[in-house]
């Protein structure tokens, strides 16, 4: 269809009347003569200038009178010969396009709205090879209500591996995470918005974290964590486990009860049907490919925003259902964040000082069950655990090197 149209177009142009063709040729001759005169003028001008300067201007200098010296975040435009351009000073400096800052933004603060940010984060290179040596990193995304009581444990976990991860912190607006400039968390807060737990604002914050982390092209895996999460394996183990996995770790299952299917709304028809509906833990781990799909989705997210209101919780259903509908084969359907629901009730168990023992930690690391990993089975099912309160920090620091090797 399209090809025919283009063909028709070409026929039309060739059907220009003879008279018009003639006018065209005349006009072209005019333009050519102008060009010749202009070039001659330019030559004369250049010759006189170099004579006027009284010096010999080499071919190289003549064509390099503007010199670009790209540096980390600016370009220096140095003029060897003053040009009659008023806006260019002898040493004019300006921010320049720079591949490094584009693929690895060092500054997390920006002025983009969520709409702008999600669009920017949805950009995917079409080219297979990178023009630089890309080392895949893990983005650790902390969704917090303020302070990070487990920070010293995380610092120890991250120590010595700075080339393999990036941290992103979404704290309440106005909250300043006060850490020293040697901390892995230093200046890692992203522009945030208020979050009320259980509402769509929570899912917004998760997508905001993903989008900010996507701006860095080195990030390959994306883990969502809270202030009450701890790592239960050391960094190299966590890194290899995530980077080498064919699947993402988003718990996603069909719960026929009123806490699962009961939260589905028929207003989501026809796009989302009851058979698509899934439930799962909010604490996900995603590959870059899936993270891009999630920040790029408007259609399904809009339905959740409109029709998934308490007692429906978007953070427990949106990503879980969306992946099930379109990318189920890329998901393991299990979570790598351990939590204890065994005591019942709306909240999982919280562990404090008295509960932290070698046996307890070992049981989280390996409870005797095997989990599917790529085409094999592994005794490592969980890399992280929650929930831990601040009194758990000290015994955890004491046991970390003995039990968790960091
Ligand atoms: C820009 O780069 C030049 C050359 O590397 C450097 O001397 C200058 O301090 C830089 N300016 C800024 C503002 O970073
Ligand atoms: C970090 O902070 C210390 C003390 O506040 C200061 O002396 C040092 O210059 C800072 N280092 C960097 C890289 O900013
Ligand atoms: C996860 O569930 C999807 C259905 O959403 C299924 O296609 C996929 O095979 C499951 N993943 C694994 C690793 O079993
Ligand atoms: C933690 O330890 C305390 C004191 O021994 C105990 O009462 C509580 O049940 C334990 N919590 C959990 C979740 O096991
Ligand atoms: C070990 O963890 C798995 C996954 O959460 C769970 O299904 C299983 O019941 C646990 N086994 C024991 C012995 O606690």
Q: At 233, which CATH number?
A: 3.90.550
Q: Which is the closest atom of ligand 1 to the Cα of 71?
A: 5
Q: Which residues pair with 231 in a beta bridge?
A: 384
Ligand 1: which of 70, 91, 93 to mutate, judged by most atoms within 8 Å of the beta carbon?
Answer: 93
Asked whether 109 lines ligand 4 (CB < 6 A), one says no
Cβ count near 390 (within 10 Å): 14
Asked whether 147 lines ligand 3 (CB < 6 A), one says no
The C-alpha atoms of residue 382 and residue 365 are separated, in whole angstroms, by 6
Residue 361 belongs to some domain of the structure = no
Structure-block tokens of residue 391: 């009194």
Residue 352 belongs to some domain of the structure = no
Ligand 4: which of 228, 341, 354 to mutate, judged by most atoms within 8 Å of the beta carbon?
Answer: 354
Alpha carbon nearest to ligand 3 atom 13, residue: 332
Q: Which is the closest atom of ligand 5 to the Cα of 363?
A: 14
Q: Work out how many domains the chain is built from and give that number.
A: 2
pTM value? 0.80
Same domain assignment for residues 162 and 84: no
Residue 91 belongs to some domain of the structure = yes
Non-local (6+) Cβ contacts of 188 within 8 A are 108, 166, 167, 168, 169, 177
Same domain assignment for residues 218 and 90: no
Handedness of CA 117, 171, 148, 189 (dihedral sign): positive
Non-local (6+) Cβ contacts of 351 within 8 A are 340, 360, 387, 388, 389, 392
Per-residue pLDDT of the chain (406 residues; tens, 9 = 90+): 333 333 333 333 344 445 555 555 556 556 566 655 555 555 554 444 444 443 344 444 443 344 444 445 556 554 455 555 555 454 556 667 788 888 999 899 999 999 999 999 999 999 999 999 999 999 999 999 999 999 999 999 999 999 999 999 999 999 999 999 999 999 999 999 999 988 999 999 999 999 999 999 999 999 999 999 999 999 999 999 999 999 999 999 999 999 999 999 999 999 999 999 999 999 999 999 999 999 999 999 999 999 999 999 999 999 999 999 999 999 999 999 999 999 988 899 999 999 999 999 999 999 899 999 999 999 999 999 999 999 999 999 999 999 999 9
The C-alpha atoms of residue 370 and residue 142 are separated, in whole angstroms, by 28
Alpha carbon nearest to ligand 4 atom 12, residue: 351
Same domain assignment for residues 81 and 181: no
Using DSSP, how many helices (H) and how many strands (E) does the chain show?
Answer: 13, 12
Pocket of ligand 5 (CB under 6 A): 367-369, 381
Residue 220 belongs to some domain of the structure = yes
**Cα 274 to middle of ligand 3, angstroms:** 17
Asked whether 122 lines ligand 4 (CB < 6 A), one says no
Alpha carbon nearest to ligand 4 atom 1, residue: 355
Task: Walk across the sheet containing 91-94 and list its strands.
Answer: 66-70, 75-79, 91-94
Non-local (6+) Cβ contacts of 295 within 8 A are 118, 121, 122, 207, 210, 211, 214
- Axis crossing angle, helix 200-214 with helix 114-121, rounded to the nearest 10: 50
Name the nearest CA neighbour of 175 among 206, 197, 142: 142
**Cα 367 to middle of ligand 5, angstroms:** 6
Which among 338, 362, 391 is the end of a domain? 338
Same domain assignment for residues 257 and 315: yes
């Amino acid at each position: 269809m399209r090809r025919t149209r283009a063909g028709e177009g070409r026929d039309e142009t060739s059907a220009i009347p003879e008279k018009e063709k003639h006018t065209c040729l005349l006009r072209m001759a005019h333009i050519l003569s102008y060009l010749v005169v202009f070039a001659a003028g330019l030559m004369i001008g250049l010759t006189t200038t170099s004579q006027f300067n009284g010096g010999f201007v080499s071919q190289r200098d003549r064509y390099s009178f503007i010199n670009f010296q790209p540096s980390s975040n600016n370009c220096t435009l140095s003029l060897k010969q003053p040009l009659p351009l008023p806006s260019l000073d002898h040493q004019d400096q300006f921010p320049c396009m720079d591949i490094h800052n584009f693929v690895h933004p060092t500054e997390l603060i920006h002025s983009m709205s969520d709409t702008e940010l999600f669009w920017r984060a949805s950009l995917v290179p079409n080219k297979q090879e990178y023009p630089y040596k890309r080392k895949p990193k893990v983005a650790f995304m902390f969704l917090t209500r303020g302070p990070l009581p487990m920070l010293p444990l995380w610092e120890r976990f991250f120590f010595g591996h700075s080339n393999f991860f990036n941290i992103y912190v979404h704290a309440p607006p106005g909250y300043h995470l006060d850490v020293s400039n040697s901390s892995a968390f230093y200046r890692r807060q992203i522009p945030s918005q208020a979050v009320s737990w259980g509402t769509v604002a929570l899912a917004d914050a998760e997508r905001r974290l993903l989008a900010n982390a996507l701006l860095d092209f080195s990030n390959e895996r994306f883990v969502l964590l809270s202030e009450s999460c701890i790592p239960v394996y050391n960094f190299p183990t966590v890194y290899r486990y995530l980077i080498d996995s064919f699947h993402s770790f988003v718990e996603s299952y069909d719960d026929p009860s009123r806490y699962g299917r009961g939260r589905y709304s028929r207003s989501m028809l026809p796009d989302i049907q009851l058979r698509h509906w899934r439930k799962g833990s909010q604490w996900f781990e995603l590959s870059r490919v899936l993270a891009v799909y999630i920040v790029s989705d408007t259609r399904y997210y809009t339905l959740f925003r409109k029709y998934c209101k308490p007692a429906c919780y978007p953070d427990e259903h949106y990503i879980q259902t969306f992946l099930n509908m379109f990318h189920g084969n890329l998901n393991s359907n299990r979570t790598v964040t351990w939590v204890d629901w065994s005591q019942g009730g709306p909240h999982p168990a919280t562990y404090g000082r008295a509960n932290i023992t070698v046996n307890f930690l070992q049981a989280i690391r390996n409870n005797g069950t095997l989990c599917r990993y790529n085409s094999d089975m592994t005794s490592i099912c969980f890399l992280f655990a929650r929930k831990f309160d601040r009194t758990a920090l000290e015994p955890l620091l004491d046991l970390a090197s003995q039990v968790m090797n960091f």
